[in-house]
């Protein structure tokens, strides 16, 4: 019987270790995305808004709008303007339970809010412009194409 007990204990120990490793992996996956989301939201200028889906796409996971919402809900950092992230279609969405506070912060920044929607969303929607824009590549000549200056004259 002692052999059975030790193998059961070893099995339980292995499953605990596997569970801890899985949690650690999940935490590592969440941290970078969370950091990218917070960095993206910090870049939204005053008077502009971005959607949860837009922030998710800019953070590298275009289908993670709900995750962005959860990150915004749990964020209590004063350096992150969470009130500038809204739901699609201009709906305000939540703001730590106080939609009234979110509305008043946006209005104070000059965003027109009517009821629970941002008006003129196309005008105030922020989409990150690539700051490190890729330089256009020089065009490569195709095989059999003419050289510069050769206009078909023989």
Say if pTM beats, i.e. exceeds, 0.75: no
Give the lowest-confidence range in 50-54, 122-126, 144-148: 144-148
SS3 assignment, position 149: coil
Residue 39's SS3 state is helix
Catalytic residue chosen out of the listed positions 82, 86, 113, 118: 82
CATH code where residue 63 lies: 1.10.10.10
133 within domain boundaries: no
Question: At which residue do the structure tokens 């996956």 appear?
Answer: 29
Q: Answer whether residue 136 is part of any domain.
A: no
Residue 44 belongs to domain spanning: 28-124
Report the number of distinct structural domains present in the chain.
1
Tell me whether residue 8 is in a domain.
Answer: no
Per-residue pLDDT reduced to its tens digit, 82-100? 999 999 999 998 777 788 9
Decide if pLDDT at 105 tops 80: yes
Cα dihedral 129, 69, 56, 26 in deg (nearest 10): 140
CA distance 68 to 113: 22
Please say if the pLDDT value at position 130 is more than 60: no
Active site residue 5: no
Confidence of residue 12 (pLDDT cuts 50, 70, 90): low
């Amino acid at each position: 019987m002692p052999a059975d007990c030790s193998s059961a204990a070893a099995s339980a120990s292995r499953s605990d270790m596997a569970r801890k490793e899985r949690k650690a992996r999940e935490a590592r996956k969440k941290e970078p995305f969370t950091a990218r989301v917070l960095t993206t939201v910090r870049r939204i200028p005053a008077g502009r808004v971005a959607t949860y889906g837009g922030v998710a796409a800019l953070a590298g996971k275009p289908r993670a709008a709900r995750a962005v919402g959860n990150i915004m809900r749990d964020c209590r950092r004063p350096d992150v303007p969470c009130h500038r992230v809204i739901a699609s279609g201009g709906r305000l969405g939540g703001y730590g339970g106080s939609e009234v506070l979110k509305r008043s912060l946006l209005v104070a920044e000059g965003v027109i809010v009517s009821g629970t929607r941002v008006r003129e969303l196309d005008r105030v929607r922020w989409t990150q412009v690539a700051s490190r824009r890729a330089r256009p590549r020089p065009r490569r000549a195709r095989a059999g194409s003419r050289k510069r200056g050769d206009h078909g004259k023989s």
